[in-house]
Amino acid sequence: MSENHHPKSVLQCEPETLSILYRDDYFLAVHKPAGLLVHKSPIDKHETRYAMNVIRDQIGQWVYPVHRLDKPTSGLLLFALSSQNAKLLNALFTNQDIHKTYTALVRGFVMGDRQVDHPMKEIAAFKNKQYVADKKEAQIAITNIKPLTYFELPLSDGRFSTSRYTLLEMKPRTGRKHQLRRHAKHISHPIIGDVKYGKGEHNRLFREQFGCPRLLLAANKVEFAHPITEEKIMIHCPLEANFSQLLDELEPYARAISY
């Protein structure tokens, strides 16, 4: 090899990281972006990226998930830093002593605060096992919802000359799989961007008009009494940039509604 010849440099990619919202000796809270799985799932066998692995490599320590966010949902995600601490947090979830708040953009005007009390059948991890889940009784599922802002766009969804939407605060009192998405569908106000439970014409409108293909659901606050220190913990998570920017674009279409 001549002295003027050098091997080609190998491009070094920066490792993926997550924004840490809270950390102590026992627990950790991070901001999970939309499109990232919490952990390995039989539903997405092709995926190789998981929040659990990203944060483990980031902090150099094993983490234990204590709840989950759907892959298309962004926002606050809690981990324990030991298996024993995971059991403590899981107990809080079981006893409904952890209070979570979500933000969602849904179709139509949701008039007034309300509680959605609609039991749900279990969703099996594997489709070929769903018949077993269907034989079980529906589980209690309760969500409190509160309208925050109304928007009316001068765009047709194919049925009406304008399209109406509500920015909601959603507080689940139980933790069923896809609970918020299924409850939103149940009250005929599906979440925008939900390809499973939503409305195709509204999802398409947001993709084409705003370049927004994501599910507009985000976990933005969690409150609980620390099971070890007994301190009252309240953790906030900002909306992901693409969600926040969309709301900025919608602001000129905000409407004051009386009911």
pLDDT in tens, 86-132: 999 999 988 889 999 999 999 999 999 999 999 987 765 655 555 55
Q: What is the CA radius of gyration of the chain?
A: 21
- Please check whether residue 8 lies inside any domain of the structure: no
pLDDT in tens, 204-216: 999 999 999 999 9
Instruction: Write down the pLDDT at residue 49.
Output: 82
- Please check whether residue 186 lies inside any domain of the structure: yes
Catalytic pick among 24, 25, 44, 70? 70
The two tokens of residue 175 are: 């933790």
Instruction: Write down the pLDDT at residue 2.
Output: 47
Query: CB burial class (10 A; 0-12, 13-18, 19+) of residue 165?
Result: buried
**SS3 assignment, position 147:** strand
Residue 132 near residue 114, CB atoms below 8 Å: no
- Please check whether residue 224 lies inside any domain of the structure: yes
Stretches in the chain below the pLDDT threshold 50: 1-3, 8-10
Instruction: Write down the pLDDT at residue 11.
Output: 52
Query: What CA–CA distances, in Å, run from 259 to 109, 110, 113?
Result: 11, 10, 11
| Distance in angstroms (rounded) separating the CA atoms of residues 39 and 30 | 14
Q: Please tell me the total count of domains within the chain.
A: 1
- Please check whether residue 106 lies inside any domain of the structure: yes
Residue 193 near residue 206, CB atoms below 8 Å: yes
105 contact partners, CB below 8 Å, separation of at least 6: 165, 166, 167, 168, 191, 192, 216, 246, 247
Look up the pTM and report it.
0.89
Instruction: Write down the pLDDT at residue 13.
Output: 64
Instruction: Write down the pLDDT at residue 24.
Output: 96
Instruction: Write down the pLDDT at residue 1.
Output: 46
- Please check whether residue 70 lies inside any domain of the structure: yes
CA angle (214 as vertex; 211, 218 as ends), nearest 5: 130
- Please check whether residue 240 lies inside any domain of the structure: yes
Instruction: Write down the pLDDT at residue 186.
Output: 97
Query: CB burial class (10 A; 0-12, 13-18, 19+) of residue 144?
Result: middle
Residue 59 near residue 25, CB atoms below 8 Å: no
The two tokens of residue 74 are: 């962004």
179 contact partners, CB below 8 Å, separation of at least 6: 120, 141, 143, 172
The H or E element that residue 85 is part of is helix 83-94
Instruction: Write down the pLDDT at residue 128.
Output: 59
- Please check whether residue 108 lies inside any domain of the structure: yes
Residue 96 near residue 42, CB atoms below 8 Å: no
Instruction: Name the residue type at position 152.
Output: E
Instruction: Write down the pLDDT at residue 90.
Output: 92
Domain span at residue 52 reads 19-255
- Please check whether residue 110 lies inside any domain of the structure: yes
| Distance in angstroms (rounded) separating the CA atoms of residues 62 and 82 | 8
Instruction: Write down the pLDDT at residue 73.
Output: 97
Q: What is the CATH number of the domain that holds 120?
A: 3.30.2350.10
| Distance in angstroms (rounded) separating the CA atoms of residues 16 and 154 | 40
The total number of residues shown for the chain amounts to: 259
Q: Is position 44 annotated as part of the catalytic site? A: no
